[in-house]
Amino acid sequence: MDIETFELERRQSVWENVVKWNLTESGIHPYTLNELLDKSQIEDLNNLRLGYGQTNGSIELRDTISRLYSGSDRDNFLVTNGSAEANFISAWSLLNPGDEITLMLPNYQQIWGLARSFGCKITPLYLKEELNWQPDVEDLKHLVNPNTKMIFVCNPNNPTGSVLTQDAIDEIIKVARENDTWIYSDEVYRGAEYDGNESATFWGSYDKVIIASGLSKAYALPGIRIGWLAGPKDFIENAWAYSDYTSITTGVLSNRIATIALQPEMRNTILTRNRDYLQENLEVMKMWVAKHSDIFSFVPPTAAGIVFLKYNREVLDLNSTELTQQLRDMKSVLIVAGDCFGMDNYLRIGIGSEREYLEAGLTLISEFLDEIL
């Protein structure tokens, strides 16, 4: 099996620890353990024996996760090493050569690359900027048919930061049910909504729904590498068998930290702290774009630590990859090219960092623009 290079991850992996200003991150400024835990909790971690954990996730953690999903119990969940492993296991366990899938675009391109490598036929469901990055539900009706194995959505969306309207969600569920099609919903940004109103989950809406989520984005805990799959128990049992061939288990330290983070009071504290970062930095971004309104425009995100900027090619006549490379080489600032999402003339900039860091990076981008224009 041939697999194509995952351009977004490769570009970030090569350069993010080399440049001085990394604005590619789509999450929020991460916690330290001292910021997250009290002394007694840290002492408990110090005394935890570092053996193998339960391979599908600790009972305590799966019970905790289940309280976030109405009508579920621990056996509806598989804990994974990040949501990336959740995505891989789902695609590997469900998709076969020749399967037809409908995939929301733009999107995090992992599923796109995996499905292509597995020999699947992909029909894109495009989010439309003129609809504030919502899909046209009429498009969906024409794309999905009884041969469609799965509809993949990312909600809240990466890279646009949009959140599906309830009408769009209802239509996706209706079309999936009519065609006996799986819905796979990447909800790793759920909880990072700017207005504090948690976006709707697809969970519980239909008996063929799979959810991927984790602690890397909305919870600002990417380093503990905890993700999960939520789904029907027979799917989860099968996915667990596939995970025996990948990483086998997640770390016991990570399971314990995740269990603490997802307790109701702590969860609220984390999401409130992260929302404050996002609200403040979105205003910074709006002011910066206003200063460069001849070049940039964007639909303000409603969730997630990212903005998806469109640039005026008549003013800035560079391919997005060339632009980001020149910025990196001249100013040591890393941002994501729209090419990584199949959309030239766009740029993704992370706004989940500390305000001072974001402002410094944007200042360097302004300097870069002054020098090349």
Strand extents, DSSP E, the chain: 21-22, 77-81, 100-105, 121-128, 134-135, 148-154, 182-186, 209-214, 226-230, 296-297, 306-311, 333-334, 336-337, 346-350
Q: In this predicted structure, what is the pLDDT of residue 76?
A: 98
Total-model pTM: 0.95
Distance, in Å, from the CA atom of 367 to the CA atom of 211, rounded to the nearest integer, reads 42
Ramachandran class of 191: left when φ > 0, alpha when ψ lies in -120 to 50, beta otherwise: left
Contact, 136 vs 167, CB < 8 A?
no
Kind of pairing, strands 296-297 and 306-311?
Answer: antiparallel
Q: In this predicted structure, what is the pLDDT of residue 283?
A: 98
Distances (CA, A) of 275 to 28, 191, 208, 211, 306: 9, 9, 32, 23, 13
Q: In this predicted structure, what is the pLDDT of residue 349?
A: 98
Q: In this predicted structure, what is the pLDDT of residue 271?
A: 98
Mean pLDDT per block of 10 residues along the chain (373 residues) reads 82 89 96 96 96 97 98 98 97 96 94 93 96 94 95 97 97 97 98 96 96 98 98 98 96 98 98 97 98 98 97 96 97 96 96 97 98 94
CATH architecture of 51-262: 3-Layer(aba) Sandwich (3.40)
Distance, in Å, from the CA atom of 247 to the CA atom of 92, rounded to the nearest integer, reads 14
Instruction: Please report, for the chain, the start and end positions of each structural domain, with discontinuous segments joined by +.
Output: 7-32+267-372, 51-262
Q: In this predicted structure, what is the pLDDT of residue 242?
A: 97
Tokens matching residue 116: 């292509």
**CATH number of the domain at 7-32+267-372, please?**
3.90.1150.10
Distance, in Å, from the CA atom of 61 to the CA atom of 205, rounded to the nearest integer, reads 24
Q: In this predicted structure, what is the pLDDT of residue 9?
A: 87
Q: In this predicted structure, what is the pLDDT of residue 4?
A: 82
CB neighbourhood size of 104 (10 A)? 23
Q: In this predicted structure, what is the pLDDT of residue 6?
A: 85
Identify residue 204 by its one-letter amino acid code.
Answer: G
Ramachandran class of 57: left when φ > 0, alpha when ψ lies in -120 to 50, beta otherwise: left
The DSSP H or E segment spanning 5 is none
